[in-house]
Amino acid sequence: MSEITSSGLRDGVDAAVSARVRAVLAEHGRLPVPVESLSDTDDLYRAGLTSHASVGLMLALEDAFDLEFPDRMLTRSVFESVAAIAAAAGPTRRTLESAWLAEIKLA
């Protein structure tokens, strides 16, 4: 498993990553509203995400993206919206895939 670093955050959100985050959120977020009714920037905590549900969401995201959120990234702001989650998970995943491909070429 890989680790997300704060340098993995960015403003733009890849649509495929956002869709994957939404799928995990729908299954594990325990929101009282449909995920489809939320924009990428809506506050998930205001939409009903609890701190307890955010832990389950984090674990499901780690499985879905094959990464591990380090303790310093376990903040409310990282999980406050679909966009924030995708910004944390998406670029890091692509960076890891690029590093893996580069490693194969060197081997």
Full pLDDT tens readout for the chain, 107 residues: 444 434 333 344 578 889 999 999 999 999 999 999 999 999 999 999 999 999 999 999 999 988 888 888 889 999 999 999 998 886 555 544 554 455 555 55
pLDDT at site 105: 57
Q: Residue 35's Cα: distance from chain center in Å?
A: 15
- Which residues, 6+ apart, have CB-to-CB distance to 39 below 8 Å? 82
Task: Write the single-letter amino acid at 98.
Answer: S
Return the amino acid letter for 95.
Answer: T
**3-class state of residue 3 by DSSP:** strand
* Residue 27, phi then psi, degrees to nearest 5: -85, -35
Cα–Cα distance measured from residue 82 to residue 104, given in angstroms and rounded to the nearest whole number: 33
